[in-house]
Amino acid sequence: MKQNPETGALAPFNFEQIEQEVPELKKFGFNLSTYSFEPPIDSSDINPDFWRKLAAIIGDNYQSYDGFVILHGTDTMSFTASALSFMLEGLSKPVVLTGSQLPIGMLRTDGKENLISAIEIAASLQNGQAMVPEVTIFFENRLYRGNRTTKHNSEHFNAFRSDNYPPLAEAGISIKYNYPFIHYPTQEQHLIVHTQLDSSIAVLKLFPGISENVVESILTTKGVKAVILETYGSGNAPMQKWFLKKLEYAINSNIVVLNVTQCKAGGVDMDKYENGLMLKRLGVVSGHDITYEAAVAKLMFLLGKGFYGKALAHELEKSIAGEITLK
């Protein structure tokens, strides 16, 4: 982003301008190639079509580069990182998303350090193997698994957290990699790019006093194939008869209901309390410790592959790209 001198608002701009603002990029001892979207896209306008384009660009150029860095607005960065983690099957090269909280043209911008470190990580090899062959987010000195992140702060430089999974690397004087938590392929892999996504999902976020009409309107929305149920604590929900009946009707109608906790850390355990156990008996699927962003992307990905109803529920219980912890 750069500040528009006429309006004072922030607007996206292209990579040629970034090279002017970050001349340090010319000091790298390797080749950098760039691709810019025309026009540049504000991250609030991101949608599955954009993810398809990104995945296709990486797929088309996969053999030509050691790694990829995606400059992305922070607002939806976790959604994009999550989506790409599912769409790029068999990934053995780094795909690092990064951005900044302050515009790149401002004196105190965090964008320079984030960009420089992201490029260094994307280009890092050891014994011919990428140091971090995953889709990741680098921000404020830390590298996270992309599908484990959530933007938690709109003002501070440490905008992202990964509460349920450790950082994959930390950048200080040197970059220290957290090897036990990085996924390394055990055999030679070939990249498969998936571009079929189905956004026929809805989100039902619970709150004390939620009305029957609101619940019904979401669960019976035309065309919806799956619903993310944002529950309390370890996966609890109200036990009013009308609420349970509407959930049961939706599930019996082949609408998958995925239980995702509203808490930023921890996960769903529907065996812990009676309220959660009742949801489990109805056929609500546990989201385990998945983030909301990863849940959205995972559902779109699996629906795009043609999974539906019970088959979809079964696939949601699997860890596809390290997005959930299975005990």
Domains of the chain: 2-193 (3.40.50.1170), 201-316 (3.40.50.40)
Contact yes or no for 282/290 (Cβ under 8 A): no
Average pLDDT over residues 151-171: 87
Torsion of CA 229, 235, 240, 244, to 10 degrees: 50
Q: Give the residue-averaged pLDDT of 171-193.
A: 93
pLDDT above 90: percentage of residues in the chain:
73
Is residue 156 scored above 60 in pLDDT?
yes
Cα atoms in the 13 Å half-sphere on the side-chain side of 50: 20
What percent of the chain has a predicted confidence (pLDDT) above 70?
A: 89
What pLDDT, on the 0 to 100 scale, is given for residue 1?
57
Per the model's pLDDT, the better-predicted residue between 155 and 195 turns out to be: 195
Report yes or no: 322 and 180 within 8 Å, Cβ to Cβ: no
Q: What is the pLDDT at residue 136?
A: 98
The Cα 185–Cα 215 span in angstroms is: 43
Per the CB < 8 A criterion, the answer to whether 252 and 290 are in contact is no
Average pLDDT rounded to a whole number, residues 44-53: 96
* Average pLDDT over every residue of 102-127: 78
